[in-house]
């Protein structure tokens, strides 16, 4: 297949994914005739943003469309390749309930050792080292599933909790890398496992991750409803007397509901949900990382800015970032949160026509967490937009980052 032109490569991978031309066209927002012309070579396919969108839909690395082998690097950016994502999807398939019909034999995995590995996986995610994560997750899914099958009683609940956490990490990583359906599947399975672990808070976080995947596929109403059901279930009667973990998960669920409400254009709903989340954060008192939520006063402000962008209020988002955000507290958050916020603010700057500031935000985000920028489809789309607007006159640092990302108009 190495010698095929790009249109034939699209046709090949579309066939591998068992999509008709019409289904594929619908998913990329084009006509069936447009797809047919691309696959026959009658029309050029040379915009990187469109190539990346096609790669996301086909669930392949964009390099495979460009006649390059996906890179397998061990650089600080933590890159990944398509084979590693395929391994992760296969491991996720093996976590289906039917897999438990063949009970695991042999010695039960050590729960303390597994707990240390799961904690390390969480930190790997929150430091945005997604390539390292995609290589580690298949084995960790296998080991935590084995532990879940082997243990019972209190140890069984602990094992189920560890499996549920790994499924959540997998869901978040897959969503970051553009595989939203696998992300939804992983989160859905995490909810079931969390309930077996009798951990309502773990189920709450898993619900928000599933809702994030739904939101990424355009199902904002379903995402909103899932978060609201869980928020109502977790709502504390007396926030001042509620433990930090419950407050954090409750508040985080409200923030995700606010993002779904913003996608629905519900200004009043966004305002009320952010107010409730702010109240929970005030009772919490400081930014924390209970249940790996990074919830606290600073994260509420980050979501306030992100919701404003979803509502098309770019100036409001920029004002929050420039004048109302406590930047010393922002610097204290983990890299994934900080870089994610800078990605959002780059969108905000583009909304108000400040292309230079958008480019600066991407460069800063790349400094904080390179793979949050170089590995995510949304970052490539933003860079392509910046390059279009600057018409070949992007500042040196932005142009250099675009080259490293392989981005072009």
What distance in Å separates the CA atoms of residue 65 and residue 197, rounded to the nearest whole number? Answer: 43
Q: Are residues 316 and 350 in the same domain?
A: no
Q: Are residues 33 and 118 in the same domain?
A: no
Question: Quick check: 105 pLDDT over 60?
Answer: no
User: Residue 44 sits in a domain of what CATH number?
Assistant: 1.10.260.40
Of the chain, the percentage scoring pLDDT greater than 70 comes to 89
Q: Are residues 102 and 212 in the same domain?
A: yes
Give which of 27, 46, 77 is closest to 408, Cα–Cα: 46
Question: Quick check: 126 pLDDT over 90?
Answer: yes
Q: Are residues 129 and 213 in the same domain?
A: yes
Structure tokens at 350: 């583009």
How many separate domains does the chain show? 4
Residues 383-397: what's their mean pLDDT? 92
Q: Are residues 297 and 164 in the same domain?
A: no
Tell me which H or E stretch contains 80. none
Residues 327-342: what's their mean pLDDT? 95
Structure tokens at 319: 């004002």
Looking at residue 48, what is its pLDDT? 64
Range of the domain at 45: 1-71
Residue 229 Cα distances to 9, 200, 232, 274, 375, angstroms = 44, 13, 5, 16, 33
Domain end residue (candidates: 312, 331, 350): 331
What distance in Å separates the CA atoms of residue 29 and residue 397, rounded to the nearest whole number? Answer: 33
Residues 297-307: what's their mean pLDDT? 98
Which DSSP state fits 63?
G
Looking at residue 233, what is its pLDDT? 96
Residue 99 — very low, low, confident or very high, per pLDDT cuts 50/70/90? very low
List CB contacts of 104: < 8 A, sequence separation 6 or more: 145, 146, 149, 150
Q: Are residues 339 and 327 in the same domain?
A: no
Residue 350: strand, helix, or coil: helix
Residues 338-343: what's their mean pLDDT? 97
Q: Are residues 7 and 45 in the same domain?
A: yes
Looking at residue 132, what is its pLDDT? 86
The pLDDT tens digits for 356-374 are 999 999 999 999 999 899 8
Of the chain, the percentage scoring pLDDT greater than 90 comes to 65
Residues 264-281: what's their mean pLDDT? 97
What distance in Å separates the CA atoms of residue 381 and residue 49, rounded to the nearest whole number? Answer: 5
Q: Are residues 34 and 123 in the same domain?
A: no
Domain end residue (candidates: 46, 71, 96): 71
Q: Are residues 267 and 324 in the same domain?
A: yes
Residue 125 — very low, low, confident or very high, per pLDDT cuts 50/70/90? very high
Looking at residue 79, what is its pLDDT? 52
Structure tokens at 95: 């976590």
Q: Are residues 47 and 83 in the same domain?
A: no
Residue 102 — very low, low, confident or very high, per pLDDT cuts 50/70/90? very low
Looking at residue 75, what is its pLDDT? 38
Residues 123-142: what's their mean pLDDT? 91
Question: Quick check: 409 pLDDT over 60?
Answer: no
Is residue 209 within 8 Å of 168, Cβ to Cβ?
yes
Looking at residue 84, what is its pLDDT? 76
When the pLDDT of each residue in the chain is averaged and rounded to a whole number, the result is 88
Residues 261-289: what's their mean pLDDT? 97
Question: Quick check: 42 pLDDT over 90?
Answer: no
| Phi, psi angle pair for 75, to nearest 5° | -80, 170
Looking at residue 27, what is its pLDDT? 83
Domain end residue (candidates: 23, 52, 71): 71
Q: Are residues 39 and 159 in the same domain?
A: no
What distance in Å separates the CA atoms of residue 105 and residue 36, rounded to the nearest whole number? Answer: 51
Of 30-34, 338-342, 343-347, the least confident: 30-34
Question: Quick check: 171 pLDDT over 90?
Answer: yes
The pLDDT tens digits for 222-263 are 999 999 999 999 999 998 888 999 999 999 999 999 999 999
Looking at residue 166, what is its pLDDT? 97
Q: Are residues 141 and 196 in the same domain?
A: yes
């Amino acid at each position: 297949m190495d010698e095929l032109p790009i249109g034939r490569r699209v046709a090949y991978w579309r066939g591998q994914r068992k999509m008709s031309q019409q289904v594929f066209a619908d998913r990329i927002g084009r006509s069936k005739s447009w797809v047919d012309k691309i696959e026959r070579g009658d029309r050029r396919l040379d915009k990187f943003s469109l190539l990346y969108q096609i790669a996301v839909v086909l669930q392949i690395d964009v390099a495979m469309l460009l006649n390059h082998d996906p890179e397998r690097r061990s650089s600080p950016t933590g890159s990944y390749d398509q084979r590693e994502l395929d391994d992760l999807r296969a491991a996720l398939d093996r976590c289906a309930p039917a897999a438990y019909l063949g009970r695991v034999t042999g010695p039960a995995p050590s729960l303390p050792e597994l707990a240390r590995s799961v904690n390390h996986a969480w930190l790997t995610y929150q430091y945005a080292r997604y390539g390292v994560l995609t290589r580690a997750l298949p084995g960790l899914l296998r080991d935590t599933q084995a532990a879940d099958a082997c243990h019972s009683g209190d140890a069984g609940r602990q094992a189920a909790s560890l499996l549920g956490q790994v499924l959540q990490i997998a869901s978040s990583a897959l969503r970051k890398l553009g595989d939203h359906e696998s992300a939804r599947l992983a989160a859905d399975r995490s909810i079931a496992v969390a309930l077996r672990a009798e951990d309502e808070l773990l189920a709450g976080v898993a619900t928000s991750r599933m809702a994030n995947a739904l939101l990424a596929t355009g199902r904002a109403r379903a995402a909103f409803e899932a978060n609201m059901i869980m928020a109502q279930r977790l709502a504390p009667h007396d926030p001042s007397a509620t433990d930090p973990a419950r407050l954090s998960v409750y508040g985080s669920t409200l923030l995700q509901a606010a993002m779904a409400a913003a996608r629905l254009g519900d200004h009043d709903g966004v305002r009320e949900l952010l107010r409730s989340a702010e109240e929970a954060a005030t009772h919490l008192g400081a930014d924390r990382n209970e249940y790996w939520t990074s919830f606290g006063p600073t994260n509420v402000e980050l979501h306030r800015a992100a919701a404003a962008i979803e509502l098309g209020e770019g100036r409001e988002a920029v004002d929050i970032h420039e004048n109302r955000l406590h930047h010393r507290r922002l610097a204290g958050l983990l890299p994934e949160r900080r870089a994610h916020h800078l990605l959002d603010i780059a969108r905000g700057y583009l909304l108000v026509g400040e292309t230079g500031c958008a480019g600066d935000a991407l460069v800063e985000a790349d400094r904080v967490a390179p793979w949050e920028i170089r590995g995510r489809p949304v970052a490539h789309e933003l860079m392509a937009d910046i390059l279009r607007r600057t018409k070949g006159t992007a500042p040196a640092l932005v142009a250099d980052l675009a080259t490293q990302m392989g981005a072009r108009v």
